Structure 1
Amino acid sequence: MLKKLLACLAVVSLAAPLLATAADAPADTAKKAPTAQQARMASCNAEAKDKTLKGDERKAFMKQCLSAHKQEKQQDKMKTCNADAKAKSLKGDERKAFMKECLSAHQPAA
């Protein structure tokens, strides 16, 4: 019994600094601007709240809403890369290689 108590105390004493660090983390993140993903989540959450969705309906809506944002981002990439390829008058294999590189590297602003 004493061994178990000592083991628990050891674990708690080792974990205490980690818990203190974890408690400070939310304060640090509150100061930073939200990421693009966090902004999308906030937008979709607000929409779901306005529609008073709950349970499975809310879950399905959130999945659809967040994937729609991904689709828009991909469409924006395609438009930009297509315009660049057209401006460079690329055709055939050159265009295909350019599009592959452009779509994998291009990061449009969120």
Structure 2
Amino acid sequence: MMRAVSVAVLVLAFAGHAMAAEGTCKARASEKKLAGAALTSFMKKCETDAQTTCDTSAGDKKLSGAAKTSFTKKCVTDAVGT
């Protein structure tokens, strides 16, 4: 269990850095000066795309169970931004 957590933390560090290089959804929305329905639509699509990318990445890394859940949640959060 401890090894799985260690691997997940290491993977998150690399994945988070890669996603940050592209910019977060919120940063891109801000650059585009989106508001209202356009902002909502953009954020939903961006979050869906991030979820798909993060799920694929977790699968490629052969993560499962709690490690996959933790990785995916952190990955999507990093991609969407705060």
Q: TM-score of the superposition, structure 2-length normalised?
A: 0.52
Matched, 1:77 2:50: yes
| Distance in 2 (alpha carbons) for counterparts of 1:66 and 1:76 | 15
Q: What per-residue deviation string (whole Å, max 9, x for no partner) do you get for residues 19-46 of structure 1?
A: xxxxxxxxxxxxxxxx7324253xxxxx
% identity of equivalent residues: 21
| Distance in 1 (alpha carbons) for counterparts of 2:32 and 2:77 | 23
Total equivalences in the alignment: 54
Q: Counterpart amino acid of 1:76?
A: D
| Distance in 2 (alpha carbons) for counterparts of 1:64 and 1:82 | 27
Q: Is the 8 A contact 1:81 1:103 kept in 2?
A: yes
| Distance in 1 (alpha carbons) for counterparts of 2:41 and 2:59 | 27
RMSD: 2.4
Instruction: Give the structure, 1 or 2, with the largest relative contact order (CA under 8 Å, sep 6 or more).
Output: 2
Q: Which residue of 2 aligns with 1:68?
A: 41
| Distance in 1 (alpha carbons) for counterparts of 2:79 and 2:42 | 16
- 1:100–1:38 CA distance, 2 compared to 1 (3 A): closer
Question: Residue 73 of structure 1: CA displacement?
Answer: 1.0
Q: Which has the larger radius of gyration?
A: 1
- Report runs of 4+ in structure 1 exceeding 3 Å deviation: none
| Distance in 2 (alpha carbons) for counterparts of 1:77 and 1:96 | 14
Matched, 1:101 2:71: no
Question: Residue 105 of structure 1: CA displacement?
Answer: 2.0
